[in-house]
């Protein structure tokens, strides 16, 4: 089995698209035809299937955000599991956004739950919070290596308050997020770097030459196609750009994904 | 409704116990009578009910670790929800260990899912990872204030690798975890400080005079009753000490909780 990083790169090449569609549905915002007759958790699933059908050939990967499913308890998790299954059946990679992070047996349980083919979720990749360090990451890295899965560690997040801890300057002069980027390079995993911080993204790109960067913040959060360029390598590889609301709640989800794909390709000169 | 912090303090006083029992069951380690006939997720629930009955009058609070339930998908979440309900019915406070952290609408969804009385979990308190800063925390703080719930932010975790990011010295000379402790004091919430780092706990205690400290690391991870003393205020208030395996898998869970309660009270001179 090809490593996750290579599978993702091949899918990006094949679809000429670095777009990651964020499956962040909210019941109150669903078009009426989905929200009318079903319980919320199942309305989310039907809506996701519609979005997946729209975007399956114009993006390599989708990213469900676990919070919107956890909100409906056990039913929400069942809906998430079916969403993952459906996306995979349409040839999409699935990156589940859970930002988990713990230690020892707890990290082992999370890694088994989400990355093992024997677990209930069996996604291709996971987001992880690395604040607890290497022994927090190790069980995820082990499962990822064994099953050719991916792990994306938060390096510099796209929100305004990310400056409070992540930009703290350490005594060597480097900010905390650069120390995290160096750990990511040591772990040889993937990373999350907000597209809303292009200067920091350029620095993170340098520090983690092997990592695939997930760049959130495009669209609703304000980042443009030009802003995501520093997350890519000079040859246009090495990053995916997430957009959630700007695609799934667009009047035409498919056209919104195509427009985003083309805008990024144009900015990359591809 | 009394604030969470005050409800917890009252329960600690009433039971003369600062013991937090970690409900971290693993199917493979359950006594045979629980593991024989039930599907794993429901065996965990039956085991938890047994443990809760054993410890309900000798500890003020229990802490289920979400990872061990997520491992069983939707069934695991249903089992977790029932565990929470049962613990509350026995007069226990419930701190759910999820270490979530995200931003904007995602943090809002998590906060609603776990802390709102209208959500599926409705626990008394939650653990949170603060690496993303204030706008990550705000939705949790808002729900907590509205519904008299608690939020415990990771300041210094009990694992060996916590030194990698949390002990990085910033240019002002203070380590990252002290910067996080100052944020916790600004947010006026509770904190997680590993009992395996007594010196750091003493410093965190100083920086967050109002916070209740959850001190994990007692027992299996090596911290002793003496090691947890710095997490408490001089008057013996302000902390709870977690033990999971050392209680739930003890031959006599109730006696193990009593012994731990007494050892901590003795170390505090209470």
A88 is catalytic: no
Asked if residues B167 and B174 have their Cβ atoms less than 8 Å apart, the reply is: no
Strands A61-64 and B150-156: unpaired
How many of the other CB atoms lie within 10 Å of CB of A226?
13
Cβ separation B130–A165 shorter than 8 A: yes
B126-184 confidence digits (pLDDT tens): 999 999 999 999 999 999 999 999 999 999 999 999 999 999 999 999 999 999 999 99
What is the rounded average pLDDT of the residues A30-58? Answer: 94
pLDDT at residue number A1: 77
**CA–CA distance, B214 with B224 (Å, rounded to integer):** 15
DSSP-derived secondary structure for A121-168: ---SEEEE--TT-HHHHHHHHHHHHHHT-EEEEEEE-SSGGGHHHHTP
B22-40 confidence digits (pLDDT tens): 999 999 999 999 988 899 9
Is the pLDDT reported for residue A240 higher than 80?
yes
What pTM did the predictor assign?
0.97
- Return the structure tokens found at A211: 């990592």
pLDDT at residue number A171: 94
B2-11 confidence digits (pLDDT tens): 999 999 999 9
B90-123 confidence digits (pLDDT tens): 999 999 999 999 999 999 999 999 999 999 999 9
H helices present in B16-62, as ranges: 32-35, 40-55
Chain A residues whose CB is inside 8 A of the B160 CB are: 133, 135
A121-176 confidence digits (pLDDT tens): 999 999 999 999 999 999 999 999 999 999 999 999 999 999 999 999 999 999 99
A136-147 confidence digits (pLDDT tens): 999 999 999 999
A133 three-state secondary structure: coil
Q: Would you place residue B207 in the very low, low, confident or very high pLDDT band (cuts 50, 70, 90)? A: very high
Distances (CA, A) of B31 to B7, B28, B46: 34, 9, 11
Cβ separation A24–B70 shorter than 8 A: no
Is the pLDDT reported for residue A35 higher than 90?
no
Is the pLDDT reported for residue B270 higher than 90?
no
pLDDT at residue number A99: 98
Q: Would you place residue A63 in the very low, low, confident or very high pLDDT band (cuts 50, 70, 90)? A: very high
Consecutive H or E run containing B62:
strand B61-64
* CB-based contacts of B74, cutoff 8 Å, min separation 6: A74, A75, A77, A78, A81, A120
- Out of A78, A112, A163, closest to residue B71 by CB: A112
What is the rounded average pLDDT of the residues B242-263? Answer: 97
pLDDT at residue number B121: 98
Is the pLDDT reported for residue A187 higher than 80?
yes
pLDDT at residue number A12: 98
pLDDT at residue number A221: 84
Is the pLDDT reported for residue A270 higher than 80?
no
- Out of A76, A99, A103, closest to residue B159 by CB: A103
Chain B residues whose CB is inside 8 A of the A166 CB are: 131-133
Q: Would you place residue A220 in the very low, low, confident or very high pLDDT band (cuts 50, 70, 90)? A: confident
The interface residues of chain A toward chain B in range 52-91, judged by CB-CB distance below 8 A, are 65, 67-68, 70-78, 81
- Return the structure tokens found at B181: 């402790």
| % of residues, chain A, pLDDT over 90 | 96
Is B127 an interface residue toward A (CB < 8 Å)? no
Residues of B carrying an active site annotation: 99
Length of chain B: 270
How many of the other CB atoms lie within 10 Å of CB of B10?
12
**CA–CA distance, A110 with A123 (Å, rounded to integer):** 12
Asked if residues B84 and B98 have their Cβ atoms less than 8 Å apart, the reply is: no
By the 10 Å C-beta count (0-12 exposed, 13-18 middle, 19+ buried), B145 is classed as: middle
Of the candidates B159, B194, B155, the residue with the CA atom closest to the CA atom of residue B178? B155
Is the pLDDT reported for residue B223 higher than 80?
yes
Q: Which residues of B35-65 are buried (b: 16+ CB within 10 A; e: fewer)?
A: beeeebbbbbbbbbbbbbebbbebbbbbbbb
Q: Which of B75, B112, B128, B132 to mutate to test the interface with A (most CBs of A within 10 A)?
A: B132
pLDDT at residue number B220: 83
In terms of CA atoms, which chain A residue is nearest residue B166? A131
Is A154 an interface residue toward B (CB < 8 Å)? yes
* Cα diameter, chain A: 59
Of the candidates A211, A99, A183, A42, the residue with the CA atom closest to the CA atom of residue B99? A99
* CB-based contacts of A78, cutoff 8 Å, min separation 6: A41, B73, B74
Q: Would you place residue B80 in the very low, low, confident or very high pLDDT band (cuts 50, 70, 90)? A: very high
What is the rounded average pLDDT of the residues B28-54? Answer: 94
DSSP-derived secondary structure for A180-200: HHHHHHHHT-EEEE-TT-HHH
What is the rounded average pLDDT of the residues A3-23? Answer: 98
Q: Which of A220-229, B66-75, B174-183 has the lowest mean pLDDT?
A: A220-229
């Amino acid at each position: 089995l090809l490593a996750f990083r290579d599978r993702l790169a091949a899918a990006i090449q094949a679809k000429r698209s670095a777009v990651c569609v964020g499956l962040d549905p909210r019941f109150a915002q669903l078009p009426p035809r989905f929200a009318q007759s079903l319980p919320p958790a199942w309305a989310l699933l039907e809506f996701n299937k519609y979005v997946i059908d729209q975007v399956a050939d114009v993006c390599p990967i989708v990213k469900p955000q676990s919070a919107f499913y956890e909100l409906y308890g056990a039913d929400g998790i069942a809906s998430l599991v079916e969403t993952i299954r459906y996306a995979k059946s349409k040839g999409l990679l699935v990156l589940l956004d859970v930002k988990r992070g713990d230690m020892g047996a707890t990290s082992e349980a999370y890694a088994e739950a989400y990355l093992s083919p024997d677990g209930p979720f069996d996604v291709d990749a996971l987001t992880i919070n690395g604040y607890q360090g290497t022994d927090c990451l190790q069980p995820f890295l082990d499962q990822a290596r064994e099953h050719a899965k991916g792990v994306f560690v938060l390096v510099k997040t796209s929100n305004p308050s990310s400056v409070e801890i992540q930009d703290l300057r350490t005594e060597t002069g480097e900010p905390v997020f650069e120390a995290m980027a160096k750990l990511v390079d040591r772990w040889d995993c993937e990373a999350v770097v907000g597209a809303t911080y292009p200067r920091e993204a350029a620095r993170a790109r340098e520090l983690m030459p092997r990592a695939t960067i997930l760049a959130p913040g495009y669209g609703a959060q304000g980042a443009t196609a030009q802003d995501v360029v520093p997350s890519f390598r000079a040859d246009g590889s090495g990053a995916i750009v997430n957009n959630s609301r700007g695609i799934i709640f667009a009047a035409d989800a498919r056209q919104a994904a195509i427009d985003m794909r083309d805008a990024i390709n144009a900015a990359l000169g591809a």
